[in-house]
């Protein structure tokens, strides 16, 4: 999927990784899946990318249960990544435990509010949709105001947003009840600022793409396990773990899902050419 922003000479890629769901005990499985082994395979696949991505952005649910042991195991696996890491939290993560255990991964400041940084003329925002006591997402008025200010800065560069919870319904009642609670206020900001080129989220453990007011919203599959797109219940599918590659050239970007440890996994290649084609 390509979104245009004129006059830029950018050339870089990002990786979006989400929902590894690592358990606290060695050899433990989550919904029958060895998520630790799968995350190790995802990390190895990312490390083989060439050129290397500018960042790996991880949007939460590092742990399966929020325990210190689970966060330590996730940190140990992710420490093998050879590129900078930026993170935000998911509903299964405990913020205080996360800060104490996983700070060694790199720049983890701002896990409670909006993080913003610029790469070659593009602005990247990481939003923390984790709200204590809630399974659904919630940004809150302070973070929404921070988001508005970051997007409205002059000059206004094209922006990509990342958060754990999806915003718009996916047609799956068992996951849509946990989407972003303050979605209406969030969409108002997107409408007002006008420079958001794409939104990337996780939480649903499957790939999805839809649009709102011309802005593509992408849901990235889990680095641990996927669910069937079954409207009646959450059932684990045989699909492999995956991550999303986002390649930016000039004022355009393309994105594709990269499955890992399956016949569908592609060999090591350059990021995809930024010519128009559907996203995953």
Average per-residue pLDDT for the chain: 86
Cα 208 to the chain's mean position, in Å? 13
- pLDDT score, position 101: 80
Q: How does pLDDT run across 83-102, given as a tens digit for each residue?
A: 999 999 888 888 888 888 87
Q: Domain for residue 199, yes or no?
A: yes
- What percent of the chain has pLDDT above 90? 66
In a domain, 4, yes or no: no
Domain count across the chain: 1
Residue at 114 is within a domain: yes
Alpha carbon distance 108, 20 (integer Å): 17
- Do 91 and 61 form a contact (C-beta atoms < 8 A)? yes
136-160: pLDDT as tens digits: 899 999 999 999 999 998 778 999 9
Residue 110: C-alpha distances to residues 95, 153, 184, 202 (Å): 11, 19, 24, 19
Q: Provide the pLDDT confidence category of residue 49 given band limits of 50, 70 and 90.
A: very high
Contact 220, 200 (CB under 8 A): yes
CATH number at residue 93: 3.60.21.10
Domain of residue 200, residue span: 11-259
Lowest mean pLDDT among 127-131, 219-223, 259-263: 259-263
Query: Hey, is 243 helix, strand or coil?
Result: strand
Q: pLDDT tens across 62-86, in order?
A: 999 888 999 999 999 999 999 999 9
Assigned domain for 277 exists: no
Q: Buried b / exposed e across 191-229, counting CB within 10 Å, b at 16+? A: eebeebbbbbbbbbbbbbeeeeeebbbbbbbbbbbbbbe
Instruction: Judge whether 280 lies within some domain.
Output: no
Task: Please check whether residue 78 lies inside any domain of the structure.
Answer: yes
Within a domain: 1: no
Place of tokens 């899902």: 257
């Amino acid at each position: 999927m390509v979104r245009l922003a004129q006059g830029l000479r950018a050339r870089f890629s990002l990786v979006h990784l989400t929902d590894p769901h690592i358990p606290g005990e060695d050899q433990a499985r989550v919904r029958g899946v060895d998520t630790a082994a799968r995350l190790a395979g995802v990390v190895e696949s990312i490390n083989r990318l060439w050129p290397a991505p500018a960042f790996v952005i991880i949007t939460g649910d590092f742990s399966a249960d929020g325990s210190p042991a689970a966060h330590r195991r996730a940190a140990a696996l992710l420490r093998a990544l050879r590129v900078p890491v930026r993170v935000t939290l998911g509903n299964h993560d405990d913020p205080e435990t996360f800060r104490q255990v996983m700070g060694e991964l790199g720049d983890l400041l701002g896990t409670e509010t909006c993080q913003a940084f610029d790469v070659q003329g593009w602005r990247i925002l990481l939003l923390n949709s984790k709200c204590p006591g809630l399974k659904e997402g919630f940004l809150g008025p302070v973070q929404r105001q921070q988001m508005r200010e970051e997007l409205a800065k002059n000059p206004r560069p094209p922006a990509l947003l990342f958060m754990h919870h999806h915003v718009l319904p996916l047609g799956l009642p068992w996951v849509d009840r946990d989407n972003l609670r303050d979605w209406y206020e969030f969409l108002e900001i997107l409408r007002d600022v006008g420079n958001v080129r794409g939104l990337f989220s996780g939480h649903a453990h499957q790939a999805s793409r839809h649009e709102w007011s011309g802005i593509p919203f992408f849901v990235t599959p889990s680095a641990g396990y996927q669910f069937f797109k079954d409207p009646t219940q959450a059932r684990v599918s045989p699909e492999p773990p995956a991550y999303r590659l986002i390649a930016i050239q000039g004022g355009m970007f393309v994105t594709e899902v990269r499955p890992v440890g399956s016949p569908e996994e592609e060999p090591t290649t350059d990021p995809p050419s930024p010519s128009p084609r559907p996203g995953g």
